[in-house]
Amino acid sequence: MKIALFGYGKMGKTIEQIALQKGHTIVLKTSGKSSLEKIIEADVAIDFSTPKAAASNIKFCLEHQIPIVCGTTGWLDNYDEIINFCKNCNGAFIYASNFSIGVNLFFKMNEYIAELMKPWKGYQVSLEEIHHTKKLDTPSGTAITLAEGIIKNSDKISWNQKELKKNNIDITSKRLKDVKGTHTVNYHSEIDTISIKHEAHSRKGFALGALLAAEWLIGKKGVFTMKDVLQLKS
């Protein structure tokens, strides 16, 4: 598989290392604008760039019929536009706030527990996410996905970071040195607290999941998620 990498920071380098170990080829690695000559050599593109660059990178690939996997967060104001663009181009696109297989299993656990906890009004749910100091967006895309999963399966209507309201999910964000990513969902009552937690030990899990998604996407058309890749029922 020939891969184009948009974003060649720590995450991009981890993807490159694992891709080469798996026998794939990196035909492009860039943190800036790329040339058409290079991108058309790729079978698939993987984007871990920046919130400002992601949407244009995705469009560029879709225009040139390059399937693209995007793990960049913080650009979702343009999500609906990108989905329509992909459909109009008859392209192939996967976005995930987190490509880690463990995190995607955690998403399913979170939805199940939210539904289980729904009748028990004495518990107030909240989220905490901790990342490295260079992460640009807050809250994390993973935390937002967790909140959306709770909202879908409970009587909560929104999430926020500023003030705690009964029907909202409070998200606390922390930025600490050399933290790969930790997400905790807490259900707190006067009597006790129930918590579920996912802690990433390295970037390897994110990279493996992104490569798995890229391998799966080749030859397909449409807009997909990691639920499709992992065959997790909605």
| Amino acid of residue 47 | D
Calpha distance 210→86 (Å, rounded) = 19
Residue 37 has what pLDDT? Answer: 65
Q: What is the CATH number for 18? A: 3.40.50.720
pLDDT tens readout for residues 120-178: 999 999 999 999 988 878 899 899 999 999 999 999 999 987 766 778 999 999 999 88
On whether both 86 and 131 belong to a single domain, the answer is: no
Cα 91 to Cα 18, 29, 50, 62, 125, distances in angstroms? 26, 21, 22, 5, 38
On whether both 131 and 46 belong to a single domain, the answer is: no
Residue 160 has what pLDDT? Answer: 86
- Residue span of the structural domain in which 137 resides: 101-199
Residue 184 has what pLDDT? Answer: 98
Q: What is the CATH number for 195? A: 3.30.360.10
Task: Answer yes or no: are the C-beta atoms of 191 and 60 closer than 8 Å.
Answer: no
Residue 178 has what pLDDT? Answer: 84
On whether both 94 and 160 belong to a single domain, the answer is: no
On whether both 214 and 181 belong to a single domain, the answer is: no
On whether both 10 and 28 belong to a single domain, the answer is: yes
| Ranges under pLDDT 50 in the chain | none
On whether both 153 and 39 belong to a single domain, the answer is: no
On whether both 108 and 187 belong to a single domain, the answer is: yes
What does the DSSP assignment read for the chain? -EEEEE--SHHHHHHHHHHHHTT-EEEEEESS---HHHHTT-SEEEE---HHHHHHHHHHHHHTT--EEE---S-GGGHHHHHHHHHHHT-EEEE-S---HHHHHHHHHHHHHHHHHTT-TT-EEEEEEEE-TT--SSS-HHHHHHHHHHHHTSS--EEESS---TTEEEEEEEE-TT---EEEEEEE-SS-EEEEEEE-SSSHHHHHHHHHHHHHHTT--EEE-HHHHHT---
Q: How many domains does the chain have?
A: 2
Spatial strand order of the sheet with 25-30 comes to: 25-30, 2-6, 44-47, 68-70, 92-95, 222-224
Confidence (pTM): 0.82
On whether both 128 and 180 belong to a single domain, the answer is: yes
On whether both 22 and 71 belong to a single domain, the answer is: yes
Among all residues, which ones are annotated catalytic? Answer: 131, 135
On whether both 90 and 121 belong to a single domain, the answer is: no
Cis amide leading into 119 (omega within 30): no
On whether both 27 and 74 belong to a single domain, the answer is: yes
On whether both 148 and 209 belong to a single domain, the answer is: no
